[in-house]
Chains A and B, each alone.
Chain A
């Protein structure tokens, strides 16, 4: 059972464009939603995270939008750069329990010149 669904599977964006990756979750007990970035041959690295008490969080060119009623959250990458080309994972967890991040299936982003 896939508790966190991520789309699209792959995405090609031109340099300077906006990359948008969407995730939907089923478990309403989830209350922490991070995004991870993974480059080839490397481990995932925390990019940005949000809790459901806010609808948006921005860090530089990266923004998370959160819609609690729809059980959806998304990552927006503004002014996408070739260096942003990587695989992006959304994830979700429940605070206060033994740590367990449930990951989405990943989105391979390619930013072209």
Chain B
């Protein structure tokens, strides 16, 4: 009955590989996000989708490509992984386009690039 679930929880991969992280929410929310938390715990938004429409795309390298097949799912594909991509990636969801109702975050995917 997890509200926002991400898989995998841990991901260790070599430089240059391509990897994907999946996210699903069962809250009926219409907006989903990807946030990156770096080693200093700083949280920064990467992307936001509302009903499968991309509405926020921060200055993220083109190697990162989000995909939302429906409003309950938001996946993140990363090409040609670099050491600097190592971080914890959080998926989140909310209701409506505004944040008034608060975000619900998943438990995160810890990505380690070696």
Q: Among A43, A49, A93, which residue has its beta carbon within 8 angstroms of that of B107? A: A43
Contacting pair B43 A89 (CB below 8 A): yes
How far does the alpha carbon of A41 sit from the alpha carbon of B10 in the complex, in Å? 11
User: Is residue A70 contacting chain B, with contact meaning CB distance below 8 A?
Assistant: no
| B-side interface residues, number (CB < 8 Å) | 27
CB distance from A95 to the nearest CB of B (A): 5
User: Is residue A83 contacting chain B, with contact meaning CB distance below 8 A?
Assistant: no
Number of A-B contacts (CB under 8 A): 68
Q: Mark A71-91, 1 if CB is under 8 A from B, else 0.
A: 000000000000000010100
Q: Mark B1-31, 1 if CB is under 8 A from A, else 0.
A: 0001000000000000000000000000001
Q: Interface extent on A, as a size class?
A: 20 to 34
The A-contacting residues of B in range 67-114, CB under 8 angstroms, are 90, 92, 94, 97-100, 102-108
Interface residue ranges, B against A (CB under 8 Å): 4, 31, 33, 40-45, 48, 50, 55-56, 90, 92, 94, 97-100, 102-108
